[in-house]
Amino acid sequence: MKQHQRQDAILSLLQARGSCSIVELAEMLEVSDETIRRNVRPLIEKKYLQKVHGGVILAPKGEDEQPFVRRMQANAADKEKIANLLAAIIVDGDSLMIDTGSTTAYVARALRGHKALNVVTNCTEIARTLVVAMDNQVHLAGGQLRRDDSAVFGHSALTFVSQFHVKYAILSIAAISLQGEFMDHHMLEAEFSKAMIKQAQQVIVVADSSKFSSRALIQVCSLQQVDMLICNQAPPAELCALLEEYKVTLILP
């Protein structure tokens, strides 16, 4: 197992247990205590974990990531515009993967008038929104349920999503750098988004303009992996130039 795989496993264990000693992690992952210390050090530095006597715990959420209800309320009109633009692209019978996020929650609402969609998601809210629509087939990943937004993560969710091949992967992200990096705050979210990208013919990122001035720790993908970016207003000139260079279609109101 490579270091990044162990780090993912460590985060998953701590999501489930809340805290673990170094000795416990070493035993569960069948490596030495020193290997675990090396693996958790970057996670502590990035504030995913917090060091305690003899072990680690999940770090308290900082102010960078707002609770889901507040995120739904923030820039709501812009997110609705983005969702409607996306809905105009989708046709009845399309196959989609949709990740968890406030903007993608609005996307699900905008898609309620479509028929016979095949939807794969890790978000129970999105699944509930679309399963009642006409003739839709909705596939919900199983795994560890997160309390904040009722989204599912972990190895089971990744295995589940790998079974499907879809036309579109629809991603919400936390930040877009001027260098064309699409980023997220949480490793488990980034991991799921990366898995979606592998299973889709086309990748669509939905992001309101606040994401252009935000920062996040984990890169999800680069411009080379994105086919379309849907925003409520034009990105900064530097990013627009890169979108054109990498032939990423920009959709605006």
pLDDT per residue as tens, the chain (253 positions): 777 778 878 887 776 677 889 999 999 899 999 999 999 998 888 777 888 888 998 776 544 444 555 655 666 888 999 999 999 999 999 999 999 888 998 999 999 999 999 999 999 889 989 998 779 999 999 887 877 667 888 889 999 999 999 999 999 999 999 899 999 988 888 999 999 999 999 999 999 998 986 778 789 999 999 999 999 999 999 999 999 999 999 999 9
| Element holding 39 (H helix, E strand) | helix 33-45
| CA–CA distances in Å: residue 93 to residues 116, 169, 228 | 5, 15, 20
Give alpha helix (H) positions in 90-186. Answer: 102-110, 124-131, 155-161
Which tokens go with 85?
């633009």
Total-model pTM: 0.73
Burial of 139 per CB tally in 10 Å (0-12, 13-18, 19+): middle
Instruction: Give the neighbor-by-neighbor strand order of the sheet with 95-98.
Output: 137-140, 118-121, 95-98, 166-172, 200-206, 228-230, 249-251
Tally of structural domains, the chain: 2
Report the CATH number that the domain containing residue 158 is assigned in CATH: 3.40.50.1360
Assess if residue 188 is contained within a domain. yes
Which tokens go with 42?
């970057």
Same domain? For 54 and 72 the reply is no
Assess if residue 47 is contained within a domain. yes
Assess if residue 63 is contained within a domain. no
Assess if residue 232 is contained within a domain. yes
Domain that holds residue 151: 68-251
Q: How far is 89 from 247, CA to CA, in rounded Å?
A: 18
| CA–CA distances in Å: residue 50 to residues 4, 12, 41, 56, 128 | 18, 15, 10, 6, 35
